[in-house]
Amino acid sequence: MKKNYVSNSSESVRMFKNDFLEVLSKVHFFIPLVVYTPVIVYLVYKAFFVAAIGAGTFIGLLLAGLFIWTFVEYILHRFVFHFVPKQPWALRLHFIFHGVHHDYPNDLKRLVLPPSASIPLATGFYFLFNALLPATYVYAFFPGFIGGYLVYDMTHYAIHHFNFKSGLWKKIKQHHMLHHYSDPTKGYGVSSDLWDRVFRSEIMNKD
């Protein structure tokens, strides 16, 4: 990603002339929790009371969903959000989906995915996992996957707006800030640097 102007303002830059599209591009950080927590509760209910999945199997599938999310998070950030096309119209889409975040990293209303983007993605992944997994297993697997997404979104908001003094949160924040301000071609993990280590895309902090 080409290095552009970086604003430290927490205000939202306007991206669309159309007011409706502009509204769809913004979201308060807690909206994903409002949208997806009921989905998780419903699927957990289905897992135990409809599919009768045992506790051990449920926990295993839940952890598997969480683990797969960490990989999907890395792949989407590295190969989708940071893919820079050449066509002007495609560059415009790239800016809308992720470029704006690198130019305005503290924009309060563009730190979590808006439902207009996350709901189609979540729906697609649900049907994909439902097709790949044994019958009813998606009821336990998908809550882990969506739970991982919520952790990612809330973590992303927190590391941009909270000043962590020490511990794991400070390490996570430093990792992501290096991605923004040192080398945007590395450090793609947000909630974890696991896959950056696996694929050797971590950023070495010279401080």
The DSSP annotation for 137-204 comes to THHHHHHHHHHHHHHHHHHHHHHHH----SHHHHHHHHHHHHHHHT-TTS---SS-SHHHHHTT-PPP
In this prediction, residue 181 carries a pLDDT of 83
Residue 201 phi, psi dihedral angles, 5° rounding: -115, 15
Give the separation between CA 99 and CA 36, rounded to whole angstroms: 26
Q: How confident is the model at residue 1 (pLDDT cuts 50, 70, 90)?
A: very low
pTM: 0.88
Q: What pLDDT digit, counting tens, does each position of 87-132 carry?
A: 876 777 777 767 777 778 878 777 888 888 899 999 999 999 999 9
Smallest CA-to-CA distance from 193 within 178, 136, 181 is with: 178
The whole-number average pLDDT for the span 27-33 is 91
% of the chain at pLDDT higher than 90: 48
Integer CA distances (angstroms), 129 to 84, 107, 118, 134, 145, in order? 28, 33, 16, 9, 10
